[in-house]
Amino acid sequence: MIPAELEERILRLHFVEGWKVGTIAAQCGVHHSTVRRVLHDRGVPAVSAPRPSMVDPYLPFLEETLAAYPKLPASRLHAMVVARGYRGCQSHFRRIVSRLRPKPPAEAFQRIRTLIGEEAQVDWGHFGQHRIGRATRPLSAFVMTLSWSRMPFVRFSYDQRMGSFLAGHVHAFRFFGGVPRRLLYDNLRSVVAERRADAIRFHPTALALAAHYRFEPRPVAVARGNEKGRVERTIRYLRTSFWPARTWDGLDDLNAQALAWCREIAGARACPEDDTMTVREAWANEQPRLLPLPDDDFPVHDVVQVRVGKQPYVRF
């Protein structure tokens, strides 16, 4: 709080004498923010005159160019205006371009609801490089999430090849005690051999897996990660809840810890579809609605095609 006499003096100098904020602050011995606050409390809008900038003469050119090429890099724009006489630094120029660049229109998304036992979503998560003996190998997590109950399944492996992809499905179906009717995928090479717009050629092994377990494989639209947001959020939750400060002794130990986390930690959350139940309780209700498991598991061996030379040696 400032004295009432000082506040009265600031108001008189502004309204009667017409002094600017900086002049009042200098003559009254206060900070300019104090003067602005007093004036703001009395309903005076804060008005600041824009300072002239070196880029002002080039603004029409920048707006016209960005309207025609919205994704043109700021570095290229800077080179273009330098050729036209601009002498400003690139860092300040980048901030101006970010302000002028046309913003894409906001897109509305409809929340997707699924029937109980109807769908699961599948994706891979990357968990860095890990040293095994003298070698360094990438660690990946195969993640499947039941769309209705949100119950997750996680299985780590040192690759994302077809054998690990198939093994993830086999173990997930065994963990869930059944098979969802539809599985949503990103456009993984293990599922989609070729895609042009909505025309999809599936990988023959993925089709054999789907035929064995009687589910429908469905790749989401290109660049539409929101269509499989449940598994994306599961992977994010896995990174923050399970992975930090985790110690493990081999893949078997890590996968055992991951299954315990699925049952005890992830399963104890409130179910988004019905907040009166936990995810584990919702999963118990969903299990009877899943398709029954076949009598035998799908074979999960990797098939590697190699070329054999004249000598009887095969390299793979």
Predicted pLDDT of residue 44? 76
CB 32 within 8 A of CB 21: yes
Q: How far is it, in rounded angstroms, from Cα 144 to Cα 216?
A: 15
Predicted pLDDT of residue 225? 56
Q: What is the mean pLDDT of residues 285-302?
A: 91
CB 184 within 8 A of CB 121: yes
Q: How far is it, in rounded angstroms, from Cα 126 to Cα 122?
A: 14
270's CB contacts (< 8 A; 6+ apart) are 277, 278, 279
pLDDT tens digits along 179-225 = 999 999 988 888 888 888 778 889 999 999 999 999 999 988 765 65
Task: Look up residue 110 and give its amino acid.
Answer: Q
Which tokens belong to 193? 């051999």
CB 125 within 8 A of CB 231: no
CB 89 within 8 A of CB 101: no
pLDDT tens digits along 67-88 = 999 999 999 999 999 999 998 8
**How many angstroms separate the Cα of 163 from the Cα of each of 119, 141, 152, 298?**
23, 14, 21, 11
Pairing of strands 192-196, 199-202: antiparallel
Better pLDDT: 1 or 159: 159
Given CA atoms 285, 289, 293, 299 in this order, what sign does their dihedral have? Answer: negative
Asked if pLDDT for residue 34 goes beyond 80, the answer is yes
pTM for the structure as a whole: 0.67
Q: How far is it, in rounded angstroms, from Cα 49 to Cα 2?
A: 27
Q: How far is it, in rounded angstroms, from Cα 240 to Cα 266?
A: 12
Predicted pLDDT of residue 159? 92
